Chain A
Amino acid sequence: MSAAPARIEAERLSKWYGEVLGLNEVSVEVGPGVTGLLGPNGAGKSTFLKLACGMLRPSLGRVLLAGEEPFDNPGVMRRVGLCPEQDAAYPGVACRAVLAYLTRLHGYGRREARLLAEAALGRVGLGHVLDRSVGTFSKGMRQRFKLAQALAHDPDIVILDEPLNGLDPSARRDLSGVIQSLGDEGRCVLVSSHVLHEVEHLARRSVFLYQGRVLAEGTRAEIRRELPQHPLQVRLLTPQPRVLAQRMLDAPGVVRVSTDAAGVDLLTTQPEAFFDHLQREVPAGGPAVTAILPGDEDLEAVFRYLTR
């Protein structure tokens, strides 16, 4: 790796899509460790990440990775790993072959690339499906694959766009551990999410985006002080909604529970304690939770509070 420190810097970064403003004069600095990029859908998170990865060119301002502009700049990309939001696959090609190819683009030889691909797939828990095509993977396995391809070449700047989206609780725990270890190793890790709680656990610092602007940034404690005890809306997908709803009634901070055929919707005023309770409850013989989904409306309410 070159001597330039691993960091992401944006200076008055703006992006228009035609007449729609996607990002409005955003200035942030992201250094070593895990940083959360938070905001409701449409806040500009993906636009920021795509600008940072060189997929888009800024309309105004600039973004720098390790001191270099990323747009069509292969030199700096050897230091970057991206877990994109969108799913993409080469139909019928084994995930090991895809990842070995992508790693070879970093200059590794055929054999080294294959070994690195296998190691990265093993690290995210896909070591048993090396010869399966990504097209046949479940949503959770695809997320793991996307994380593996972001890490295989040992980048020191790691950008993760909604990496925990649609995962079951066990996969969330596993991948959260991987992401946290990246930050502990001193890499610059930027994780976007529209789930406040999800990133709170991972990130040392967070940046809140809303309507294309930076609303707040800082450590968890600094931002928490700006927020009231606002209830968090959570949706749990399960084959046994009624049974799960009953068990969630006495979970910490739960103020409302409702069910439908596919799952349980609830509001909690103590997100951290609630999720700890959920982690204990699910493996302890409770009904299976197949996915945890955020309630966007409430998160947007939190952001509205911040904009007051």
Chain B
Amino acid sequence: MTTLVSQRPPPPPPPRGLLAGFGPAYAWGLRLALGRPLRMLVVLGVAAALGALTGWFSVHGGSGARAGDGEAAFQLWEGLKEALLPSAVPLAALVLVAGAFSREVSERTLVFHLVRPIARRTLYLARFSAAVTVAIPVALVPPLVALGVAGLPLPASTAWALVPPVVLGVLAFGAITCLLGAWFRRGIIAGLVYVFLVDGFMSEASGTMQRLSLVHHVLSLFHRGVDADFGALSERVRSSSEAAPASINPGDLISQVLSSERVDWMQPWSAALVLLAVTAVALALGAGRVSSRDYPLKD
């Protein structure tokens, strides 16, 4: 047997701080996320197809004849807010982020990490960061493809305005689904329940309960960002736009919750703040959970 001792490079200085090991763990997370090309191709293909169908139908409708710009703009606007954003953002989070850490547990590869000089919370944050790095571009594909296929005379800023709701939405939904994955044995199922039952129910609820829904905040950013552009093409968008200033009177909270009226869209900064706060709290809870629990990792 040969001995390694004489041939070794000098040992590195001891890793220190919360982010020690983050770089390699992040890079490895990216490699794992992108390492299955067929899976990524399928995900991207489905995302692009959804976007293309939405864009095509908004312009051509059921008849196949091209609609006017005004009607096409209204249909595309409807398609984006009713179908693409509320589904693409949480689905990208569920498919690409929910298992970012929990897969290390279910496949028992976590055992190799627990005896390395990397804090559990750092590993958790690195895997989450890598997963959202992949999920955000994927979630941007459907709305951007829809815009491109529709080919409406919208300014370039319309496409840019789609970025904040998608980025912040994927971060918030991703942090929650990743947390559920770290908490429950069947985290994906818990994530599905959260996304489609809990958040879906709240986003369709009336009154202030809507504000508990992440989709509501994603759509607030959408409306505040693009309604003016679509409204310039379509009178129907202008008349149905719900982009009125938000007003909450704390004294009326109960009556607002019980109200059957839909609440106004949030101001962009407050919607962004809520989504970022949800992301931060969910990440802190997830990192705390993985830092404190036992991992027997049995075969």
- The prevalent SS among residues of B at the interface is loop
A260-306 interface (Cβ within 8 A of B): none
B294 touches A108 (CB 8 A): no
Q: Which residues of B contact A (CB under 8 A)?
A: 1-5, 7-9, 11-16, 20-21, 24-25, 27-28, 31-32, 35-36, 107-109, 111-120, 122, 291-292, 294-299
User: Does A220 lie at the interface of the complex (its beta carbon under 8 Å from any beta carbon of B)?
Assistant: no
* Chain B positions within 8 Å of A151 at CB level: 4
B14 touches A115 (CB 8 A): no
Given A55-B297, A88-B107, A105-B116 in contact, is the A74-B9 Cβ separation under 8 Å?
A: no
User: Does A77 lie at the interface of the complex (its beta carbon under 8 Å from any beta carbon of B)?
Assistant: yes
* Chain A positions within 8 Å of B28 at CB level: 101
Task: Please measure, in the bound complex, the distance between the C-alpha atom of A149 and the C-alpha atom of B119, giving whole angstroms.
Answer: 19
CB-based nearest A residue for B28: A101
* Chain B positions within 8 Å of A104 at CB level: 24
* Chain B positions within 8 Å of A112 at CB level: 9, 12
* Chain A positions within 8 Å of B13 at CB level: 107
Given A88-B111, A116-B8, A181-B3 in contact, is the A105-B291 Cβ separation under 8 Å?
A: no
A84 to chain B, nearest CB (A): 5
User: Does A54 lie at the interface of the complex (its beta carbon under 8 Å from any beta carbon of B)?
Assistant: yes
B294 contact from A55, A86, A92, A122, Cβ within 8 A: A55
Given A74-B119, A78-B15 in contact, is the A86-B20 Cβ separation under 8 Å?
A: no
* Chain A positions within 8 Å of B2 at CB level: 122-123
B15 touches A56 (CB 8 A): no
Task: Please measure, in the bound complex, the distance between the C-alpha atom of A167 and the C-alpha atom of B12, giving whole angstroms.
Answer: 34
A116 contact from B9, B32, B297, Cβ within 8 A: B9
Mark contacts of A133-159 with chain B using CB atoms, 8 A cut-off: 1 yes-contact digit, 0 otherwise. 000000000000000010100100001
* Chain B positions within 8 Å of A75 at CB level: 14, 16, 117
A105 touches B7 (CB 8 A): no
Given A93-B35, A119-B7, A185-B5 in contact, is the A74-B117 Cβ separation under 8 Å?
A: yes
CB-based nearest A residue for B17: A74
Task: Please measure, in the bound complex, the distance between the C-alpha atom of A56 and the C-alpha atom of B293, giving whole angstroms.
Answer: 8
Task: Please measure, in the bound complex, the distance between the C-alpha atom of A116 and the C-alpha atom of B36, giving whole angstroms.
Answer: 27
CB-based nearest A residue for B299: A86
User: Does A177 lie at the interface of the complex (its beta carbon under 8 Å from any beta carbon of B)?
Assistant: yes
Given A55-B297, A154-B4 in contact, is the A90-B32 Cβ separation under 8 Å?
A: yes
B297 touches A86 (CB 8 A): yes
* Chain B positions within 8 Å of A106 at CB level: 11-12, 15, 116-117
Task: Please measure, in the bound complex, the distance between the C-alpha atom of A108 and the C-alpha atom of B24, giving whole angstroms.
Answer: 10
17 A-B residue pairs with Cβ-Cβ distance under 8 Å, sorted by A, are A54-B115, A55-B294, A55-B297, A56-B295, A74-B15, A75-B117, A78-B117, A89-B107, A90-B107, A92-B36, A102-B112, A104-B24, A106-B117, A107-B13, A116-B8, A154-B4, A154-B8
* Chain A positions within 8 Å of B117 at CB level: 74-75, 77-78, 105-107
A108 touches B114 (CB 8 A): no
A123 contact from B1, B292, B294, Cβ within 8 A: B1
Task: Please measure, in the bound complex, the distance between the C-alpha atom of A185 and the C-alpha atom of B5, giving whole angstroms.
Answer: 9
A149 contact from B107, B112, B299, Cβ within 8 A: B112
* Chain A positions within 8 Å of B31 at CB level: 93
B109 touches A87 (CB 8 A): no
A37 to chain B, nearest CB (A): 17
A101 touches B111 (CB 8 A): no
B123 to chain A, nearest CB (A): 9
B3 touches A107 (CB 8 A): no
Task: Please measure, in the bound complex, the distance between the C-alpha atom of A101 and the C-alpha atom of B31, giving whole angstroms.
Answer: 11
User: Does A10 lie at the interface of the complex (its beta carbon under 8 Å from any beta carbon of B)?
Assistant: no
User: Does A81 lie at the interface of the complex (its beta carbon under 8 Å from any beta carbon of B)?
Assistant: yes
* Chain B positions within 8 Å of A68 at CB level: none
B12 contact from A72, A108, A115, Cβ within 8 A: A108
* Chain A positions within 8 Å of B1 at CB level: 123, 177-178, 181
Task: Please measure, in the bound complex, the distance between the C-alpha atom of A130 and the C-alpha atom of B245, giving whole angstroms.
Answer: 62
A22 to chain B, nearest CB (A): 9
A53 contact from B7, B8, B20, B114, Cβ within 8 A: B114
CB-based nearest A residue for B103: A90
B110 to chain A, nearest CB (A): 8
Mark contacts of A208-235 with chain B using CB atoms, 8 A cut-off: 1 yes-contact digit, 0 otherwise. 0000000000000000000000000000
A55 touches B295 (CB 8 A): yes
B118 touches A108 (CB 8 A): no
Closest 5 CB pairs of A and B: A107-B12, A88-B108, A104-B24, A105-B116, A78-B117
A154 touches B111 (CB 8 A): no
A85 touches B299 (CB 8 A): yes
* Chain A positions within 8 Å of B111 at CB level: 55, 82, 84, 86, 88
B115 contact from A81, A119, A185, Cβ within 8 A: A81
* Chain A positions within 8 Å of B24 at CB level: 101, 104-105
Task: Please measure, in the bound complex, the distance between the C-alpha atom of A85 and the C-alpha atom of B299, giving whole angstroms.
Answer: 8
* Additional A-B contacts beyond A77-B117, A106-B11, A116-B9 (20; CB < 8 A): A54-B115, A74-B119, A74-B122, A78-B116, A84-B112, A86-B299, A88-B107, A88-B112, A92-B35, A101-B28, A105-B25, A106-B117, A107-B15, A108-B9, A112-B9, A115-B9, A122-B2, A154-B4, A154-B8, A178-B1
